[in-house]
């Protein structure tokens, strides 16, 4: 059996204050009336409708203002969610609305029902993601969610430094054969002056002249006497 009641509070799935709804008689008698969530529909109680409607309008206006301010604040935040991932960046699992709500509470002390975090699909990739928020029937917002891996990145192996380039001169191999031969025979040949070729290059240097020692006066007299 159904009975008609006037709700005095907002009840999810049933209605808001001042709404007239039909519910089971036992539900109204055993729960709604004792909890003062509803009153029976009567001529006397209909007079309370205006008060209930005004209270409802005030509540909705407050919720709208509160959610509007929250949307502005959340739009400036970056919610960090850490997950396990492989070295290739592939995540183990996915980020859900419940995980985002938990991090908002943990990092910013913001309590938000996970049902207001609108994810068409769970987040399965690392990086930054724009998440849509349904805070109020007339208020929507966005939240930046940054998903990072808890796995430390692989060490970067630095390439060995490139060999320093010379001054452009190239070494000519096989040059100076005469030095090799001289080393083998044990003889030492003087270096050939730059630009000398042929016979000039092959001439041995002249022996230095020996200076004559000056004769003494006695030796000169002895020669004359002889």
CATH of the domain at 13: 3.40.5.10
Domain boundary among 111, 131, 149: 149
Does 133 lie in the same domain as 77? yes
Count structural domains, the chain: 2
In a domain, 124, yes or no: yes
Q: What is the CATH number of the domain that holds 114?
A: 3.10.430.100
* CA separation for the pair 14, 10 (Å, rounded): 8
Does 40 lie in the same domain as 85? no
Domain boundary among 100, 128, 149: 149
In a domain, 86, yes or no: yes
Q: Which helix (H) or strand (E) holds 134?
A: strand 127-136
Residue labelled with tokens 């990739």: 125
Does 94 lie in the same domain as 32? no
In a domain, 57, yes or no: no
In a domain, 54, yes or no: no
In a domain, 97, yes or no: yes
In a domain, 55, yes or no: no
Does 116 lie in the same domain as 77? yes
Q: Residue 208: its pLDDT value, please? A: 54
Q: Residue 134: its pLDDT value, please? A: 95
Backbone dihedral region for residue 83 (phi beyond 0: left; psi -120 to 50: alpha; all else: beta): beta
Walk along the chain (226 residues) and give the pLDDT tens digit of each residue.
889 999 998 898 899 888 989 999 999 999 999 999 999 988 888 778 888 888 889 999 999 999 999 999 999 999 999 999 888 888 888 999 999 999 999 999 999 999 999 998 899 999 999 999 999 989 999 999 999 998 766 666 666 666 655 555 545 555 555 554 444 444 545 554 444 444 444 455 565 555 554 555 555 555 555 5
Does 135 lie in the same domain as 86? yes
* CA separation for the pair 52, 47 (Å, rounded): 10
Q: Residue 124: its pLDDT value, please? A: 93
Q: Which residues constitute the domain of residue 134?
A: 71-149
Q: Residue 181: its pLDDT value, please? A: 46
Is residue 81 within 8 Å of residue 145, measured between CB atoms? yes
Domain boundary among 100, 134, 149: 149
Alpha helix stretches (DSSP H) within the chain: 25-27, 43-46, 49-74, 97-108, 177-185, 198-202, 217-225
> Dihedral sign, CA of 22, 28, 31, 37?
positive
């Amino acid at each position: 059996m159904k009975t008609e009641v006037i709700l005095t509070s907002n009840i999810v799935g049933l209605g808001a204050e001042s709404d007239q709804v039909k519910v089971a008689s036992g539900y109204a008698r055993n729960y709604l009336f004792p909890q003062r969530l509803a009153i029976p529909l009567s001529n006397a109680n209909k007079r309370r409708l205006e008060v209930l409607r005004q209270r409802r309008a005030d509540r909705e206006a407050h919720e709208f203002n509160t959610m509007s301010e929250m949307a502005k604040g959340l739009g400036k935040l970056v919610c960090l969610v850490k997950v396990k991932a492989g070295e290739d960046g592939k995540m183990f699992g996915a980020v859900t609305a419940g995980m985002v709500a938990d991090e908002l509470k943990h990092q910013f002390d913001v309590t938000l029902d996970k049902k207001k975090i609108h994810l068409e699909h769970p987040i399965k990739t690392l990086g930054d993601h724009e998440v849509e928020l349904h805070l109020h029937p007339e208020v929507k917002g966005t939240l930046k969610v940054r998903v990072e891996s808890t796995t430390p990145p692989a060490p970067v192996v630095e390439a060995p430094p490139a060999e320093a380039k010379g001054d452009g001169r190239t070494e000519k191999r096989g040059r100076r054969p005469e030095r090799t031969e001289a080393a083998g025979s044990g003889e030492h040949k003087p270096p050939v002056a730059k630009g000398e070729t042929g016979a000039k290059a092959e001439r041995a240097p002249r022996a230095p002249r020996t200076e004559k020692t000056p004769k003494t006066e006695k030796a000169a007299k002895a020669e004359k006497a002889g």
